[in-house]
Structure 1
Amino acid sequence: MNILHTSDWHLGKTLYGKKRYEEFEAFLNWLVDTITEQAIDVLLIAGDVFDTSAPSNRAQALYYRFLCRVATSTCRHVVVVAGNHDSPTFLNAPRELLRALDVHVIGSACDNPADEVLLLADARGEAELLVCAVPYLRDRDIRVAEAGESIEDKERKLVDGIRNHYAEVVAEAERQRTELGRHIPIVALGHLFTAGGKTEEGDGVRELYVGSLAHVTASLFPDAIDYLALGHLHVPQKVGGSELMRYSGSPIAMGFGEAKQQKSVCKIVFDRTPGAAGTERQAAAVQLINVPVIQPLERIKGNWEQLQARLLELAVLESSAWVEIIYEGEAVISDLREQLDAAVGSSAMEIIRVKNSRIVERVLAQRGADETLDDLDMNDVFARCLDAHEVPQEQRAELLHAYQETVVSLQHDDTRAE
């Protein structure tokens, strides 16, 4: 049995105003071809299918067209869980119709653990795989707020809530396996931030559980899981060094910080022959399949000579990269953008963003007259607000935590829900 694990497509995402639909379409075309070439039986999509809770018509068309093509391929089942960027209501809306195509969608946490356990059959109709389809767990799904609780109490409840949810769902999968009387694999999905997870600057990864990220460790997940397919982090990586707990990462670079990163999807191979109940389980074999670069990104840092040399090198190579420039030279160049455009000339490259660090440093004392919101994250903006109102240092930690909780809560509202 061959399984393919992917996540974090972020269909509809733009890069500094540049639409990327051609990239998304090319990736999905490649994925359909890969499913056929690799004889994939089950496709797992671990959240963040879309970049926003209200995706554009074009982004929706890409998603549904892809699912229809997969339904006519060698792939027997597709399992989709929601990520923190997705609207649970929107993903769930067509799930009864999609079920006819053997596409199984879980948009939000279910009250009954059995509703998150999928028993998938092979071409002969015999059970071959149990899937614990756990979506992104929102704060309200796993924690009951109480008056007077401390920050530490909230963090502990969040971690305990995630642990208990996985324990209940996996226990239900084990119960169903016992009833079958055969040892078939259990795989689990999830969309969360685990301890030690790697991120990249500008990748758009949001904090999920404020203050508790470092405490969601690999040991939280039940031992009965034969493979854990995670989403949320865009860098392909293992969890706690385990070959069988992985983030597939995003299939295309979501920001210039990921420009040099090799993107991939995970192929997991299980022996098709299930053993008798209670026998030693067959370990999964995991292989990374590299995703081809569709739209090259290039981040160039340095003084004018270094910038000019690299742009010339790329032009000679006939690069079609989208370029981010970070000028770090000592000399002040007031017409930097104009000189860069001239250096690019008639090549296929396009300069998407220019950050003139020298100018920013000179005006920093005047609160960044040359800065834009692209140069600041949400915590930077709040810090500026605290400075402007001369809030004492001893009050800032608690205010920052309350602010972060508010922002996370707003991000998690399902705007499609009635």
Structure 2
Amino acid sequence: MKLLHTSDWHLGRALYGRKRNDEFSQFLDWLLDTISSRAIDVLLIAGDIFDTTTPSNWAQNLYYQFLTRIQQTGCRHVVITAGNHDSASFLEAPAGILKTMNIHVIGSIDDNIHKEIITIKGTDETPQLIICAVPYLRERDIRSASPGETVDEKSAKLIQGIQNHYDEVVSHALQLKTVQRLHVPIIALGHLFAAGGQSVKGDGVRELYVGSLAHVPASIFPDEIDYLALGHLHSSQRVAGDESRRYCGSPLPVSFAEGKKAKSVIQIECTSNIESIAELEVPCFQRLESLEGDLQQLLEKMTHLRAQNCSIWLEIKYTGEELIPHLQETLREAVAGSKLEILRILNTRIINSVLSSETSQETLEELSVEEVFARCLAQNDISGEQQNELTLRFNQAMEALQQNDQG
């Protein structure tokens, strides 16, 4: 049986105000072709399908068109779990209809642990795989708050809650194997931040709780999990160096800092156990370049890129000492009439502190909510335990806003 692990599509996400509809469409076209050409049996999507809990009509249409088109590829099952960016109730709303198409959607946990356990059968109805489809575990679902808790105590409770849930769902999967005398792999999904995981500044990875709170150690996952398909971190990587515990990463670079990183999905082949795990590189659908230097250096680099006559989105970092009048106009004139497009200009000459405007034209639209909050903390010299407490309250408020449709 062949599986494909992907996550963190973030459909609808823009880059400094520039819509990326073409890239998302091209990625999903490529994914469908890959599923078909490689005869993939099961597609795993480990959260953050959408970038917000209220996706645009365009993003919704693209998602449902994909689920319709995948029926023609030969892929027999799709397993979708919610991430922290997703609305669990929105994803689960059509779950009953989608299940008739062998598309299994798990948005949140509840008292029915069995809904997270999916038995994948072959064409002869013989069980071939058990999937523990664990979605993003929200703080309110896995721990109870106590007055006067320290940040360390909160962290310990969160990690214990996550471990308890994985122990429970895997225990039920093992019982199923025993009762039915199955010799099949157990695949688990998750959407979390594993301790030691690597992220890139500006890559859009949102802290799930507060600071390093609930950076989950690899040791909490039961050994009986044959492959752990994770989402949340945008760079492809192994958890604690373990070949069978993986982040596939986002299929598109979500920032200029990721522009040079290879993107991938992961193919897993198994029979009674895991036989092979391989990364498949996702093509680059839109080239990103970050240029840095004084004005002369920037103009020379832009001239070189312009001569390549291909579509490139640019982030410009002016690091010269000279104060250049009309810097933005000068740079934009240099790309006029070409396939180069400047999305962001940072003028370090006029940055006096981390809270200063990154460019004379920087707007709130260019900053994430988390970046604005972080700047407010820094501006007021808030650090240590107080910073952790305020960040915890901020993240709780953000989660409540994002999930207010769940009641």
Deviation, 1:398, is 3.2
Task: Name the CA distance, whole Å, in 2 between partners of 1:100 and 1:75.
Answer: 14
Q: Does 1:206 align with 2:206?
A: yes
1:386 alignment partner in structure 2: 380
SS in 1 for 2:33: helix
Amino acid in structure 1 at the alignment position of 2:135: P
1:415 alignment partner in structure 2: 404
Deviation, 1:201, is 1.9
Task: Name the CA distance, whole Å, in 1 between partners of 2:157 and 2:128.
Answer: 35
Q: 2:346 aligns with which of 355, 360, 367?
A: 355
Task: Name the CA distance, whole Å, in 1 between partners of 2:46 and 2:154.
Answer: 26
1:390 alignment partner in structure 2: none
SS in 2 for 1:53: coil
Question: Retained in 2: the 8 A contact 1:328–1:356?
Answer: yes
Q: Does 1:323 align with 2:314?
A: yes
Q: C-alpha deviations, 1:326-379, integer Å up to 9, x for none?
A: 111111112111111122131111001101011223xx4995594644468244
Deviation, 1:214, is 6.8
1:172 alignment partner in structure 2: 172
Amino acid in structure 1 at the alignment position of 2:277: V
Matches within 5 A, 1:267-346: 267-271=267-271, 274=272, 282-346=273-337
Deviation, 1:400, is 1.4
Residues paired across the two proteins, number: 400
Question: Retained in 1: the 8 A contact 2:4–2:42?
Answer: yes
1:406 alignment partner in structure 2: 393
Question: Retained in 1: the 8 A contact 2:265–2:280?
Answer: yes
Task: Name the CA distance, whole Å, in 1 between partners of 2:98 and 2:140.
Answer: 27
Task: Name the CA distance, whole Å, in 2 between partners of 1:207 and 1:183.
Answer: 38
2:150 alignment partner in structure 1: 150
SS in 2 for 1:355: strand
SS in 2 for 1:204: coil
Task: Name the CA distance, whole Å, in 1 between partners of 2:337 and 2:82.
Answer: 43
Q: C-alpha deviations, 1:38-58, integer Å up to 9, x for none?
A: 100000000000000000111
Task: Name the CA distance, whole Å, in 2 between partners of 1:25 and 1:416.
Answer: 28
| Further displaced range: 194-203 or 88-97 | 194-203
Task: Name the CA distance, whole Å, in 1 between partners of 2:264 and 2:178.
Answer: 35
Could you say if the C-alpha distance between residues 344 and 212 of structure 1 is closer, same or farther in structure 2, counting changes exceeding 3 Å?
Answer: closer
Task: Name the CA distance, whole Å, in 1 between partners of 2:56 and 2:232.
Answer: 21
1:250 alignment partner in structure 2: 250
Task: Name the CA distance, whole Å, in 1 between partners of 2:292 and 2:163.
Answer: 43
Deviation, 1:211, is 4.0
- Structure 1: gaps spanning 5 or more residues: 275-281, 388-392
Deviation, 1:63, is 0.4
Task: Name the CA distance, whole Å, in 2 between partners of 1:300 and 1:211.
Answer: 31
SS in 1 for 2:79: strand
TM-score (norm 2): 0.94
Deviation, 1:284, is 3.3
Question: Retained in 2: the 8 A contact 1:159–1:212?
Answer: no
Task: Name the CA distance, whole Å, in 1 between partners of 2:147 and 2:73.
Answer: 53
Question: Retained in 2: the 8 A contact 1:265–1:289?
Answer: yes
Deviation, 1:136, is 0.2
Matches within 5 A, 1:121-160: 121-160=121-160
1:65 alignment partner in structure 2: 65
Question: Retained in 2: the 8 A contact 1:4–1:265?
Answer: yes
Amino acid in structure 2 at the alignment position of 1:68: T
| Further displaced range: 105-114 or 45-54 | 105-114
Task: Name the CA distance, whole Å, in 1 between partners of 2:221 and 2:153.
Answer: 21
2:222 alignment partner in structure 1: 222
Question: Retained in 2: the 8 A contact 1:7–1:248?
Answer: yes
Matches within 5 A, 1:27-176: 27-176=27-176
Task: Name the CA distance, whole Å, in 1 between partners of 2:356 and 2:196.
Answer: 34
Question: Retained in 2: the 8 A contact 1:194–1:213?
Answer: no
Deviation, 1:114, is 1.7
Q: C-alpha deviations, 1:171-214, integer Å up to 9, x for none?
A: 11111011121210100000000111111121111001214447
Deviation, 1:384, is 4.9
Question: Retained in 2: the 8 A contact 1:132–1:187?
Answer: yes
Task: Name the CA distance, whole Å, in 2 between partners of 1:365 and 1:94.
Answer: 45
Deviation, 1:410, is 2.4
Question: Retained in 2: the 8 A contact 1:11–1:59?
Answer: yes
Could you say if the C-alpha distance between residues 347 and 124 of structure 1 is closer, same or farther in structure 2, counting changes exceeding 3 Å?
Answer: same
Could you say if the C-alpha distance between residues 26 and 215 of structure 1 is closer, same or farther in structure 2, counting changes exceeding 3 Å?
Answer: closer
Question: Retained in 1: the 8 A contact 2:287–2:312?
Answer: yes
Amino acid in structure 2 at the alignment position of 1:71: Q
Task: Name the CA distance, whole Å, in 2 between partners of 1:283 and 1:85.
Answer: 30
Amino acid in structure 1 at the alignment position of 2:303: L
Task: Name the CA distance, whole Å, in 2 between partners of 1:367 and 1:134.
Answer: 42
Task: Name the CA distance, whole Å, in 2 between partners of 1:403 and 1:7.
Answer: 30
Deviation, 1:412, is 2.0
Question: Retained in 2: the 8 A contact 1:227–1:284?
Answer: no
Q: C-alpha deviations, 1:289-348, integer Å up to 9, x for none?
A: 111111111111112222112111111111211111011111111211111112213111
